[in-house]
Structure 1
């Protein structure tokens, strides 16, 4: 037997990594963490395969392309959110309660979704087809659902009349900032690490602060 045959006998023919041993949700969760950490451009199919411990052609075989995998990741992270917002809007009694309920829910959701926050913050600065996808699938439906409430509150003098993108930034910007734990730790070094603090309490404090500045008191 030649040396080459001996090596072949010892090493069965297979890809560098075995087929995926992870369930779908874990595959997508790891994909989300990778895109959030590295950004889309720097996230290669090879790097995704390494982190998923799969063969290099796994992403293309199962999802079609890196772009298709990115869309699957985003759908996994955000697809149920709008149903929750719609439910909150439907069960509220008035516009004040509707807006408060949605913002509190948004901030609580964001407090425990740092990877998605980083991805959204990064993609929102880039004019790309990925931003088009985020806008059509998630950003626009969210804004369309709360815009009638906001318009009525503006007409009632409860919210200042400013351009929609300014209001969008005022509402969503602080929620995305909940992912900035390293900054929080530097600003408040005496406290416990931000990642280990009560995330719900942190979200509620921030949403109360934002709502206090956004909503003027009711006219008597």
Structure 2
């Protein structure tokens, strides 16, 4: 999809659509209301993106490109330590969740109901990355450096567990979280999350032979 220029370039429109879908969900979101909010014609949005569902697909793909790139770099790096690569992927996932809290809010709408939208996320974004992530995990398990953990367990701990603070800012603020962390504070938070997750799966001498429940 070619990028636009100026205030109404594709990136601007997709970011606004992402905000709208996060607020109301796919069913509650109105393209006409979004057009009015942006001060542009409904025809412009439909001409660029087609149906509301196609706009949803485009907005999610726009947002998830950053996380997709981060995990590809972590799992396909030709050199480097596998455990450090896994840690770096976790850190970048947390930073992505902070930059795009809309994604987890949208997935909270979509994750419980079978639809073309949830299948798009799995088939277009998650599954293409899965072999690389699983290969990284398998190498670490084979080397005795981490315990074997079900893929879905680790997926939800990293995405939902690490991202909920940003997707639910009111609750997070009431719990004492910073509402506007600096980049340095975000980086420190992401590293803390990654280290806590890794501490739960890194093996110790007494873990030999353990298998996941």
TM-score per shorter chain, which class? 0.7 to 0.9
Mapped partners of 2:130, 2:165: distance in 1: 20
Mapped partners of 1:21, 1:96: distance in 2: 42
**Residues 1:79 and 2:65 aligned together:** yes
Structure 1 or 2, whichever has the larger Rg, is 1
Alignment equivalent of 2:191, drawn from 204, 208, 218: 204
Tell me how far 1:92 sits from its aligned partner. 4.7
State the partner residue of 1:17: none
Alignment equivalent of 1:186, drawn from 161, 174, 179: 174
Point out the structure with the larger helix share: 2
Aligned residues: 198
Alignment equivalent of 1:113, drawn from 100, 105, 116: 100
Tell me how far 1:129 sits from its aligned partner. 0.6
Tell me how far 1:210 sits from its aligned partner. 1.6
Alignment equivalent of 1:195, drawn from 173, 180, 183: 180
Alignment equivalent of 2:33, drawn from 47, 65, 88: 47
Alignment equivalent of 1:95, drawn from 44, 69, 82: 82
Q: Mapping of 1:22-171 within 5 angstroms?
A: 22-89=8-75, 90-171=77-158
Mapped partners of 2:123, 2:202: distance in 1: 28
Give ranges in structure 1 of 5+ residues lacking alignment. Answer: 1-19
Mapped partners of 2:155, 2:66: distance in 1: 20
**Mapped contact 1:124–1:131 kept (Cα < 8 A):** yes
State the partner residue of 2:3: none
**Mapped contact 1:112–1:199 kept (Cα < 8 A):** no
Deviations 1:124-147 (A, max 9, x none): 232211011101111112322210
**Mapped contact 1:181–1:195 kept (Cα < 8 A):** no
